[in-house]
């Protein structure tokens, strides 16, 4: 690369090209740093006033200017947990079908449709949530769960149609495509000999899949779950349209609640007073850190699996 | 490739071009008067085609916030700005914020109870108890006692409130603070409060939507939202002891006293007003206009609109169930327009 | 022995069928969504919808003409901002940089990609709306453009990197400078993949609502120029869906149908481009 002289490189525009593209690449880094900086600086008041107790205070009261993040952290975690509980079995099951059973052309076609599902915007999921899932919850799901199992704390109490469970169901539909596409890829990358060895030893198709292939790809599948989790944590529109918008902490899944993203969307443009606004930005910072950590873990797990696959097959 | 580039250039040019040589004035705030404001701005634009008032119904809280930040030219709120907010405006914008009452409206308790199409009577104790979470079933004696002859189900009440910062909330909590000491000490009045119970809906629109779709729900909305969406709303017992339904006459009666003693800055509360026929949860709603507007064209447009609104505009109120402003208030406001410089 | 084997085979067939059921359920959700939108919004996608402005509250007959144009303007401006940054940055990563710098840039891009869209909205509000004291199309486009950068950058890097060495070496052997090689040989070779990535990035931000709530704000009228608030399809869907008016609900379904239709068409187009031609010609 350095064999030609600087001047000759300059003359032929290479150095300029290098500089220009470097500036744009640097811009990406600068913007990201600026984003983190803005989040940090614009939440100073809240951080100084509340400190770490911000994470454990239940009260969110604009009248007395007292703000605690706990109800929103709770709502975010509960809805994401419900989403994963529903999405993981479905998603892994589907990805096994796509990777192991379906002939390649059908597998690709189905994956194509799954990719399209991932492209559906959040607000449309919200629209469907309001007009389909909420009435369904009220008329079918709630009676089905509450009558027989109403003694359990998670199924106790009245239902309003909106609430944690409704938001969890909508989120589950939204994150399934991520689980499927990544899990399908890692399953496909498991070397053939693993399967063939198991089959040669007399296992059934299912046994070779479940007991050999899937464990081999286990880390990557975990990665896909983390990816789905990161998406669920940050989801705004679909959640805010069906969660009930009440900062409540309740064991019951039928209770209305609120999530970090949802409360920011609702209250950001109207937060008068600096402490109010900065507390909301503080919530944004918490969300950012949460998704940052989960995304990082996801990527790590996926990389580990794909490397493992290539190592073994070599 | 060339054709694509040409198309791109055309779109960019189109987007950058100023369509009409129009003046766009941005405002944001209360959902309470949104039906009448959207009508006014539409009519005004048809009469003055070069002026467009773009009003976003995002809630009084957002209206106050955005006009303070200066990201919109005017705000709107049904809860008058408190002293702290007035100070914040003065500090941030270097001039005063002026309140201009526009219409009189009512906040009604609207509900969706199976089998009940009649107008329920609500006492102040019932309303406070429901919203405090102490009265939980529709057939509670506090409600049934005022509604003899109506069969109320033994169902849980689903309480609906606002999820966003709202002047309608201010009016509602202002009323509850006046009639219930427990409410005043526990929750108090504001555009956004720490609700003891209930679900949140966004805007008057959101609350109406939730009440409409949720069986056994109760919510508080501006009168026109209940009327336009054909959901039943109840009567409320006023300070004189009568159960009054919200309508033009009862809302006007509530403002009668305040009209005569209107303070210079027009910030006044008329909830729980005295008077035999007064509806107890009535309120003015205000446009929030900065006292100094630098852009001369915008300033003249806003002043022109205010004049129109106080004279011709008032003739549109009653069709949308808002009461007209009392004459004394209109006169005072016409004088106050000159304060906008 | 035989019985045990038969049981295992039974379990195997059952479980494998179940995975098929899972796949079927997941895929059918897509068609359910489309079906519902068509059923509820199909009749409302009429001439009024595309040409009229929103009517005053409570009156029927309004449309979303300004929201459609608003969304188009937002996407155009977002691409003008996000695509060059991602594209040129990607060129740097693929062609000029060392591994250390590349890792840092890649990491920043991945971080940016994972930021929830509501937080991007907060960032755009503090950076663009507050200082200029104006909600604007420009601010909304900035937020959306930010979200396009990571996808464009990573894809550009990936597709440029996939161009075979022989093409590069051939060009350089003929005496072309590095820049000439990039602009006349490598980029054209990878253009399909890069175009696909841009289309996919566009489809992704076309449906974003949260960042627009505090930047483009909303507008009942046409939005002139780039410095005024503007209506957009996703925000209109949100506003109308949570309202109590039947007419607005109808329009929300119609808007949902139009928006989703557009996004799906862009997605299908992108993937067809990628699969039909070979993204990078083999040598």
The DSSP code sequence of B105-122 is: EEEEEEEE-TT--S--EE
Judge if A22 and A73 occupy the same domain.
no
Q: Does residue C13 fall inside a structural domain?
A: yes
- Residue environment code for A175-197, b if the CB has 16+ CB neighbours within 10 A, otherwise e: bbbbbbbbbbbbbbbbbeebbee
Q: Are residues C25 and C59 in the same domain?
A: no
Residue A214 lies in a domain: yes
Q: Which residue has the higher pLDDT, B152 or B7?
A: B152
A120 Rama sector, left if φ>0, alpha if ψ -120 to 50, beta otherwise: beta
Cβ–Cβ pairs < 8 A, chains A and B: 84
Chain C partners within 8 Å of A213 (Cβ): none
Residue A47 in domain: no
DSSP per-residue codes, A106-175: HHHHHHHHHHHHHTS-HHHHHHHIIIIIHHHIIIIIHHHHHHHHTTSGGG-S--BSBSHHHHHHHHHHHH
For an interface test with C, which of A46, A100, A123 has the most C Cβ atoms less than 10 Å from its Cβ?
A123
Same domain, residue pair C84 and C173: yes
Q: Please tell me which residue of chain C has the smallest CA distance to A286.
A: C119
Instruction: Tell me which residue has tokens 């979303």.
Output: C64
CA distance C124 to C74: 14
Question: How does pLDDT run across A154-184, given as a tens digit for each residue?
Answer: 888 777 888 999 999 999 999 999 999 989 9
Run of H or E residues at B52? strand B51-57
Examine the domain organization and report whether C170 and C263 are in the same domain.
yes
Same domain, C104 and C189: yes
The pLDDT score that the predictor gives to residue B205 is: 83
The rounded distance, in Å, linking the Cα atoms of B274 and B270 is: 9
Q: What does DSSP say about strands B217-222 and B97-112: parallel, antiparallel, or unpaired?
A: antiparallel
Contact assignment for A272 to B65 by CB distance below 8 Å: yes
Residue found by looking up tokens 């589950």 in the block = A172
How close B61 gets to chain C, by Cα (Å)? 14
d(CA C236, CA C254): 11
Residue with token string 């194509």:
A112
Q: Structure tokens of A243?
A: 């969660």
Chain B residues with CB-CB distance to C under 8 A?
A: 8, 11-12, 15-20, 22, 24, 26, 28, 34-35, 38-39, 41-42, 45, 52, 54-58, 69-72, 201-203, 205-206, 208-209, 212, 224-225, 228-229, 320
Report the distance separating Cα A19 and Cα C124, nearest Å: 27
- One domain for residues A30 and A77: no
- Asked if C106 and C39 sit in the same domain, the reply is no
Higher-confidence residue: A266 or B99?
Answer: B99
Return the percent helix, strand and coil in chain A, to nearest 5.
Answer: 80, 0, 20
Q: Tell me if chain B has a CB within 8 Å of the CB of A252.
A: no
What pLDDT, on a 0 to 100 scale, did the predictor assign at position C208?
92
Chain C CB contacts of A26 under 8 Å are 105
Residues A82 and A166 occupy one common structural domain: yes
**Residue C283, pLDDT score:** 42
Convert the pLDDT of each residue in B251-294 to its tens digit.
988 988 787 888 888 898 999 988 899 999 999 999 999 999 98
At residue B18, the pLDDT reads 45
Is A50 contained in some domain? no
Same domain membership, residue C239 and residue C161: yes
Tokens at residue B199, please?
Answer: 């679900």
Residue B16: Cβ-neighbour burial (10 angstroms; 0-12, 13-18, 19+): exposed
Asked if the structure places residue A64 within a domain, the reply is: no
CB contact under 8 A, A113 and C30: yes
Residue of C33, C91, C96 with shortest CB distance to A120: C33
Radius of gyration from C-alpha coordinates of chain A:
24
Please name the residue of chain A whose CA is at the shortest distance from the CA of residue C234.
A123
Q: B238: distance to nearest CA of chain A, Å?
A: 27
C126 chain-A contacts, CB cut-off 8 A: 38, 42
Residue among A280, C121, C133, C122 nearest B92 (CA): C133
Residue C221 and residue C172 in one domain: yes
Cα C151 from Cα B107, distance rounded (Å)? 49
Q: How far apart (Å, rounded) are the C-alpha atoms in residues A158 and B133?
A: 14
Distance from CA of B91 to the nearest CA of C (A): 16
Q: Are residues A156 and A276 in the same domain?
A: yes
Least trusted range by pLDDT, from A75-89, B199-213, C176-190, C210-224? C176-190
Whole-number Å distance between alpha carbons of C222 and C244: 25
- Whether the per-residue pLDDT at B10 is higher than 70: the answer is no
Interacting residues of C10 by C-beta distance below 8 A, sequence separation 6+: none
How far apart are alpha carbons B247 and B236 in whole angstroms? 12
Judge whether residue B11 has pLDDT over 70.
no
Measured between alpha carbons, how far apart are the two ends of chain A, in Å?
32
**Nearest residue on chain A to B56, judged by CA atoms?**
A269
Cβ separation of B202 and C229 shorter than 8 Å?
Answer: no
- Choose from A163, A245, A252 for mutation: most chain B CBs within 10 A: A245
Most confident of A73-87, B28-42, C48-62: A73-87
Q: Within 13 Å of residue C253, how many CA atoms lie on the same side as its CB?
A: 23
Q: Which residues of B touch C137 (CB under 8 A)?
A: 15
What's the rounded Cα separation, in Å, for the pair A245 and A260?
11
Residue C280 lies in a domain: no
Host domain of residue A19 = 6-41
Nearest CA in chain C to A208: C12
Structural domain total, chain A: 2
* Whether residue A18 is found in the same domain as residue A107: no
Strands B97-112 and B282-290 turn out to be antiparallel
C10 and C63 part of one domain: no
**Among the listed residues C172, C122, C158, the one whose alpha carbon sits nearest the alpha carbon of residue C279:** C158
Q: Say which CATH number the domain at C81 has.
A: 1.10.3720.10
Chain B residues touching C209 at Cβ < 8 A: none
For A190-199, how does the pLDDT look when each residue is reduced to its tens digit (9 = 90+)?
888 888 888 8
pLDDT tens sequence across B113-144: 988 888 999 999 999 999 999 999 999 999 99
pLDDT band at A206 (very low <50, low <70, confident <90, very high): confident
Residues A33 and A91 in one domain: no
Answer whether C207 sits within 8 Å of A121, measured CB to CB: yes
**Which residue in A has a C-alpha nearest to residue C271's C-alpha?**
A112
Token pair in block for residue B196: 């003891």
pLDDT exceeds 80 at position A9:
no
> Which of the residue ranges A10-24, B304-318, C204-218 would you say has the lowest mean pLDDT?
A10-24
Does residue C174 sit in the same domain as residue C227?
A: yes
| Chain A contact set for C119 (CB, 8 A) | 35, 39, 234, 284, 287-288
Look up the domain containing C233 and give its range.
47-275
CB atoms within 10 A of CB A77: 16
Cβ(A82)–Cβ(A137) under 8 Å? no
Residue B6, strand partner residues = none
Is C119 in contact with A39 (Cβ distance < 8 A)? yes
The lowest-confidence range among A38-47, A295-304, B113-122 is A295-304
Residue C100 lies in a domain: yes
CB contact under 8 A, B209 and C225: no
Q: How does pLDDT run along chain C (283 residues), one tens digit per residue?
A: 688 888 888 998 999 899 999 999 999 999 999 999 999 888 888 888 888 888 887 777 788 889 999 999 999 999 999 999 999 999 888 888 788 888 899 889 988 988 999 999 999 998 998 888 888 999 999 999 999 999 899 888 888 888 888 888 888 888 877 778 888 888 888 888 888 889 989 998 999 999 998 898 888 888 888 888 899 999 999 888 887 788 888 899 999 999 999 999 999 988 888 777 544 554 4
Mean pLDDT of A17-46: 91
Contact A25, C97 (CB under 8 A): yes
Residues on chain C touching B322 (C-beta within 8 angstroms): none
Shared domain for C155 and C142, answered yes or no, is yes
Q: How far is C14 from chain B (nearest CA, A)?
A: 41
| Cβ proximity of A75 and A163 under 8 Å | no
Query: Given C58, C72, C129, which is nearest B35 (Cβ)?
Result: C58
Residue C185 belongs to some domain of the structure: yes
How big is chain C by its Cα radius of gyration, in Å? 24
At B221, list the tokens.
């909305």
Check whether residue C102 and residue C76 sit in a common domain: yes
The token pair at A283 is 């919530």
Mean pLDDT of chain C: 87
Q: In Å, how far is B2's CA from the nearest CA of chain A?
A: 24
Contacts of residue C33 in chain A, CB cutoff 8 Å?
Answer: 117, 120, 124, 128
Q: Are residues A10 and A92 in the same domain?
A: no
Average pLDDT over chain B, rounded to an integer: 88
- Neighbouring chains to C with at least 3 Cβ pairs closer than 8 Å: A, B
The reply to whether residue A272 touches residue B201, judged by beta carbons under 8 angstroms, is no
Question: How confident is the model over A230-286, as pLDDT tens digits?
Answer: 889 989 999 999 998 888 898 899 988 999 999 998 888 888 778 888 999 999 999
Q: CA nearest C213: which of C140, C141, C142, C144?
A: C140
C226 touches B at CB < 8 Å: yes
Collect all residues with Cβ–Cβ distance below 8 Å to C89 and sequence separation of at least 6: A21, A24, A25, A27, A28, C105, C109, C149, C153, C156
Taking the CA atoms of residue A201, residue A206, residue A210 and residue A212 in that order, the dihedral angle to the nearest 10 degrees is 20
Instruction: Check if B114 contacts A (Cβ < 8 Å).
Output: no
C6 touches B: beta carbon within 8 Å: no
Q: Looking at the 3D structure of chain C, how many domains does it have?
A: 2
Compute the distance between CA of residue B295 and CA of residue B309 in angstroms, rounded to an integer: 21
Instruction: Assess whether A133 and A21 both reside in one domain.
Output: no
Would you say A190 and A309 are in contact if contact means Cβ atoms under 8 Å apart? Answer: yes
Do residue A249 and residue A115 come from a single domain?
yes
The answer on A37 and A76 residing in a single domain is no
Q: Which of B47, B7, B110, B57 is nearest to B312 (CA)?
A: B47
Confidence at residue C78, expressed as pLDDT on a 0 to 100 scale: 94
Residue A51 lies in a domain: no
Closest CA to A233 of B56, B341, C116, B297: C116
CA B113 to chain centre: 25
Distance from CA of B328 to the nearest CA of C (A): 29
Residue A307, in any domain of the structure: yes
Residue A75 lies in a domain: yes
Q: Is residue C98 part of a domain?
A: yes
DSSP string, A6-40: HHHHHHTTHHHHHHHHHHHHHHHHHHHHHHHHHHH
Closest CA relative to residue A81, chosen from A232, A227, A223, A183: A232
Distance CA B334, CA C14 (A): 80
Does residue C252 form part of some domain?
yes
In a domain? residue A152: yes
Indicate whether A190 and A260 sit together in one domain: yes
Q: What values do phi and psi take at B86, rounded to 5?
A: -65, -40
Q: Do B199 and A273 make contact, defined as CB atoms within 8 angstroms?
A: no
What is chain B's Cα-based Rg?
A: 22
> Is residue A61 within 8 Å of B193, Cβ to Cβ?
yes
CB C228 within 8 A of CB B192: no
B192 at interface of A, judged by CB pairs closer than 8 A:
yes
Q: Do C141 and C199 lie in a common domain?
A: yes
Tell whether A169 and A300 lie within a shared domain: yes
* Distance between CA atoms of residues C146 and A32, nearest Å: 10
Question: Which one of A158, A244, A269 has the shortest CB-CB distance to B66?
Answer: A269
> Nearest Cα to C51, choosing from C39, C74, C69?
C69
Angle at B334 between CA B328 and CA B337, to 5 degrees: 140
Q: Which structure tokens are listed for C8?
A: 């295992």
> Using a CB-CB distance cutoff of 8 angstroms, which residues of chain B are in contact with residue C242?
201-203, 205-206, 209
Higher pLDDT, A146 or A180: A180
The DSSP line for chain C is -HHHHHHHHHHHHHHHHHHHHHHHHHHHHHHHHHHHHHHHHGGG-SHHHHHPPPPPTT-S----HHHHHHHHHHHHHHHHHHHHHHHHHHHIIIII--HHHHHHHHHHHHHHHHS-HHHHHHHHIIIIIHHHT---HHHHHHHHHHHHHHHHHHHHHHHHHTS-HHHHHHHHHTT--HHHHIIIIIHHHHHHHHHHHHHHHHHHHHT--HHHHTTT---SSPPPSSSS----HHHHHHHHHTSS-HHHHHHHHHHHHHHHHHHHHHHHHHHHHHHHS-SS---
């Amino acid at each position: 690369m350095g064999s030609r002289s600087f001047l000759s490189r300059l003359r032929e525009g290479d150095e300029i090209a290098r500089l220009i593209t470097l500036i744009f690449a640097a811009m990406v880094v600068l913007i990201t740093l600026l984003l983190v900086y803005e989040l940090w600086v614009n939440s100073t008041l809240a951080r100084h006033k509340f400190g770490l107790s911000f994470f454990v205070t239940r009260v969110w009261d604009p009248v007395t200017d007292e703000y605690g993040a706990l109800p929103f952290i709770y709502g975010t975690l509960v809805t994401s947990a419900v989403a994963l509980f529903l999405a993981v079995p479905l998603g892994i099951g589907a990805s096994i079908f796509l990777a192991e059973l379906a002939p390649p052309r059908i597998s690709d076609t189905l994956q194509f449709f799954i990719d399209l599902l991932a492209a559906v915007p959040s607000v449309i999921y919200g629209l469907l949530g309001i007009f389909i899932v909420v009435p369904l919850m009220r008329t079918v799901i709630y009676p089905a769960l509450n009558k027989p199992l109403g003694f359990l704390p998670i199924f106790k109490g009245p239902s309003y149609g909106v609430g944690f469970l409704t938001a969890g169901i909508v989120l589950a539909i939204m994150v399934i495509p991520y689980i499927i596409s990544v899990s399908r890829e890692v399953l496909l990358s498991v070397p053939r000999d693993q399967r063939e060895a198991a089959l040669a030893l007399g296992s059934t198709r299912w046994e070779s899949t479940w007991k050999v292939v899937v464990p081999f790809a286990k880390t990557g599948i975990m990665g896909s779950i983390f990816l789905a989790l990161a998406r669920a944590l940050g989801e705004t529109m679909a959640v805010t349209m069906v969660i009930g918008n009440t900062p409540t902490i309740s064991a019951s899944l039928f209770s209305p609640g609120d999530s970090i993203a949802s409360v920011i969307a609702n209250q950001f443009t109207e937060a008068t007073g600096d402490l109010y606004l900065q507390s909301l930005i503080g919530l944004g910072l918490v969300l950012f850190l949460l998704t940052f950590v989960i995304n990082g873990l996801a990527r790590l797990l996926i990389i580990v699996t794909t490397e493992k696959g290539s190592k073994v097959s070599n | 490739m060339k054709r694509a580039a040409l198309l791109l250039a055309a779109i960019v040019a189109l987007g950058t071009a100023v369509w009409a040589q129009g003046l766009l004035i941005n405002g944001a705030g209360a959902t309470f008067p949104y039906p009448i404001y959207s009508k006014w701005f539409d009519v005004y634009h048809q009469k003055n085609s070069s002026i467009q008032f773009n009003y976003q119904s995002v809630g009084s809280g957002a209206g106050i916030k955005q006009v303070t930040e200066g990201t919109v030219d005017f705000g709107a709120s049904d809860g008058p700005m408190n002293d702290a907010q007035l100070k914040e405006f003065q500090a941030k914008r270097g001039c005063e914020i002026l309140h201009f009452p526009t219409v009189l409206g009512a906040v009604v308790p609207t509900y969706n109870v199976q089998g009940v199409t009649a107008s329920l009577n609500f006492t102040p104790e019932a309303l406070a108890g429901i919203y405090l979470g102490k009265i939980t079933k529709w057939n509670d004696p506090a409600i049934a006692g005022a509604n003899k002859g109506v069969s109320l189900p033994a169902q849980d009440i689903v309480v609906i409130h606002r999820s966003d910062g709202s002047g309608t909330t201010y009016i509602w909590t202002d009323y509850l603070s006046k009639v219930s000491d427990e409410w005043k000490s526990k929750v108090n009045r504001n555009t956004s409060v720490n609700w003891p119970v209930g679900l949140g809906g966004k805007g008057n629109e959101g609350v109406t939507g939730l009440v409409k779709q949720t069986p056994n729900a109760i919510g508080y909305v501006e009168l026109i939202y209940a009327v336009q969406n054909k959901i039943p709303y109840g009567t409320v017992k006023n300070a004189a002891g009568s159960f009054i339904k919200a309508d033009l006459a009862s809302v006007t009666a509530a403002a009668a006293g305040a009209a005569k003693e209107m303070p210079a800055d027009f910030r006044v509360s008329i909830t729980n007003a005295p008077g035999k026929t007064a509806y107890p949860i009535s309120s003015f709603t205000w446009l929030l206009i900065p006292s100094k507007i630098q852009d001369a064209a915008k300033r003249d447009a806003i002043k022109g609109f205010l004049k129109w609104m106080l004279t011709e505009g008032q003739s549109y109120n009653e069709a949308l169930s808002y009461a007209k402003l009392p004459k004394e208030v209109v006169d005072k406001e016409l004088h106050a327009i000159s304060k906008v410089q | 022995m035989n019985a045990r084997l038969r049981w295992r085979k039974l379990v195997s067939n059952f479980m494998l069928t179940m995975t098929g059921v899972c796949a079927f359920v997941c895929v059918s959700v897509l068609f359910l969504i489309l079906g519902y939108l068509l059923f509820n919004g199909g009749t409302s996608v009429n001439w009024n919808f595309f040409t009229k402005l929103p009517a005053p509250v409570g009156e029927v007959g309004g449309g979303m003409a300004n929201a459609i144009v608003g969304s188009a303007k937002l996407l155009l401006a977002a691409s003008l901002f996000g695509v060059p940054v991602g594209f040129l940055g990607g060129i740097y990563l693929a062609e000029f940089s060392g591994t250390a710098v590349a890792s840092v840039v890649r990491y920043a891009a991945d971080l940016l990609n994972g930021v929830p869209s509501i937080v991007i909205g907060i960032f755009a509000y503090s950076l663009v709306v507050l200082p200029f004291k104006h909600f604007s199309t420009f601010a909304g486009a900035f937020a959306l453009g930010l979200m396009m950068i990571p996808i464009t950058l990573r894809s550009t890097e990936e597709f440029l990197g996939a161009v075979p060495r022989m093409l590069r070496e051939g060009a350089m052997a003929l005496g072309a400078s590095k820049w000439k090689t990039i602009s006349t040989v490598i980029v054209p070779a990878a253009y399909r993949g890069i175009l696909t990535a841009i289309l996919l990035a566009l489809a992704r931000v076309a449906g974003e609502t949260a960042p627009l709530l505090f930047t483009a704000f909303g507008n009942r009228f046409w939005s002139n120029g780039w410095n005024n608030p503007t209506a957009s399809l996703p925000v209109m869907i949100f506003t109308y869906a949570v309202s109590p008016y039947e007419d607005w609900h109808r329009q929300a379904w119609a808007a949902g149908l139009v928006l989703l239709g557009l996004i799906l068409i862009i997605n299908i187009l992108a993937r067809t481009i990628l699969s039909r031609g070979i993204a990078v010609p083999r040598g």
